[in-house]
Amino acid sequence: MRIKTWLTKPFVLILLLALITFILTELAATSPQLTNQFYSSGIYPLIASFLSLISGWFSFSLDDLFYILLSLGLLSLLILPLFRKIKWAKSLRLIISSLALTYMAFYWLWGFNYYRSDLNERLSFEEAQADTTELMNTFRWLIDEVNQSYTQVDSIDKRQWVSIIENEYVKHHKFLKIDTRLCKTNPKSMTFSRFFAAATISGYYGPFFSEVHINKHLLPVELPLVLSHELSHRYGITSEAEANFYAWYICTHSDDQQMKYSANLYLLRYFAYATHRIGSFKEAVSYLRPEVKEDYTKVSKHWMALMNRNVEEVATAVNDAYLKTNKVDEGIADYEGVVKCVMDYLYTQSMK
């Protein structure tokens, strides 16, 4: 195989642009403030608004369709040479080109947000004292909050929740540093909800068409928080911990009691995990209302029944690798960072 023949001009151009994109990601990682200023607050809102306008014309997920077509295309490029329908050299060139173009699209359409300033810098949060006493005090505070916010959530009205949540984000956009041009969206159901449920994935954001996706198997009590979480990704919030914080903040600052309860119940899981080995944990949870305990257990059993251990382990490994590739050092553990975000927020508020 002659190198000159294999390296066509379009192929070389694609590789060159992919290399430039990679170099820019490395530079962006070293300059989070500039990334936030020029990309997250400048270029990205324009891109996301345009993509959302296009995807809004369709009732189904364009991102899911893109993933399906990409997978089928790559698979066919591996199979066709076996039947001598295409030469291996051309097949390999097309595979590399497709992956390079997807790589570039991901970062230019959304991925550069991974390298923006972190939550504490953007929202001017002070670092809370990181010790067991302060952690347990915050956990007890959360228990009081979830008890007080308890209410029954029996039905799902996605359109109603979307409107309420969008309005809350608009109301708090200055504090959360988000662009209001991104506050209108049309969440879609996952095409393969049951498969994602087996991996305990309740929602995801599709960066290629700026689409928010929600799992059809969500319980009503989970919907407000999960919708708020996935919408935060559309606003350029890439960290799962920060997305959890944004969702919790929006829901708990709403006048809607169901939103407050959904957020506090969700947050309870992370604080329970962070404190379950502390001696005073059992005493603290004894103050939880029976109804709250029942909902907590109901949500856990619901997802355990849907989960497939093999699928969940593979999905966790892939997500962990994906996050670490984008310089989220904690990987999948980043979700649990919401405990720190909430503690830093509460500490900052107490200092005012």
pLDDT single digits (tens) 86-122: 788 888 889 999 999 999 999 999 999 999 999 999 9
Alpha carbon distance 128, 141 (integer Å): 15
Mean pLDDT of 316-341: 58
What's the half-sphere exposure (Cβ side, CA atoms, 13 Å) at 327? 16
Residue 334 clears pLDDT 70, i.e. is over it: no
pLDDT at position 7:
66
Backbone angles phi, psi at 102, to 5 degrees: -65, -40
Residue 183 clears pLDDT 80, i.e. is over it: no
User: Residues 19-29: pLDDT tens digits?
Assistant: 999 999 999 99
Lowest mean pLDDT among 1-5, 52-56, 330-334: 330-334
Residue predicted with more confidence, 349 or 208: 208
pLDDT at position 278:
85
pLDDT above 70 coverage of the chain, percent: 90
Residue predicted with more confidence, 328 or 122: 122
The CA-based angle 116-117-122, given to 5 degrees, is 130
Residue 331 clears pLDDT 60, i.e. is over it: no
195-205 burial code (b ≥16 CB/10 A, e <16): ebbbbbbbbbb
Residue 348's contacts (CB-CB under 8 Å, 6 or more residues apart) are 124, 125, 126
Mean pLDDT of 288-296: 95
Q: How confident is the model at residue 157 (pLDDT cuts 50, 70, 90)?
A: confident
Residue 170 clears pLDDT 90, i.e. is over it: yes
Helix (H) or strand (E) holding 203: strand 203-206
Residue 147 clears pLDDT 50, i.e. is over it: yes
Residue 135 clears pLDDT 90, i.e. is over it: no
Residue 305 clears pLDDT 70, i.e. is over it: yes
Residue 10 clears pLDDT 80, i.e. is over it: yes
Lowest mean pLDDT among 71-85, 166-180, 209-223, 234-248: 71-85
Residue 131 clears pLDDT 50, i.e. is over it: yes
Residue 148 clears pLDDT 90, i.e. is over it: yes
Greatest Cα pair distance, the chain, in angstroms, is 74
Residue 323 clears pLDDT 60, i.e. is over it: no
pLDDT above 90 coverage of the chain, percent: 60
pLDDT at position 9:
81
Q: In terms of pTM, does the model score above 0.85? A: yes
Q: What is the mean pLDDT of the chain?
A: 87
Residue predicted with more confidence, 306 or 185: 306
pLDDT at position 182:
83
What SS3 state is found at 275? helix
Residue 1 clears pLDDT 50, i.e. is over it: no
pLDDT at position 297:
94
Residue 42's contacts (CB-CB under 8 Å, 6 or more residues apart) are none
Mean pLDDT of 60-68: 94
Residue 186 clears pLDDT 90, i.e. is over it: no
Residue 156 clears pLDDT 80, i.e. is over it: no
Q: How confident is the model at residue 172 (pLDDT cuts 50, 70, 90)?
A: very high
Alpha carbon distance 225, 248 (integer Å): 7
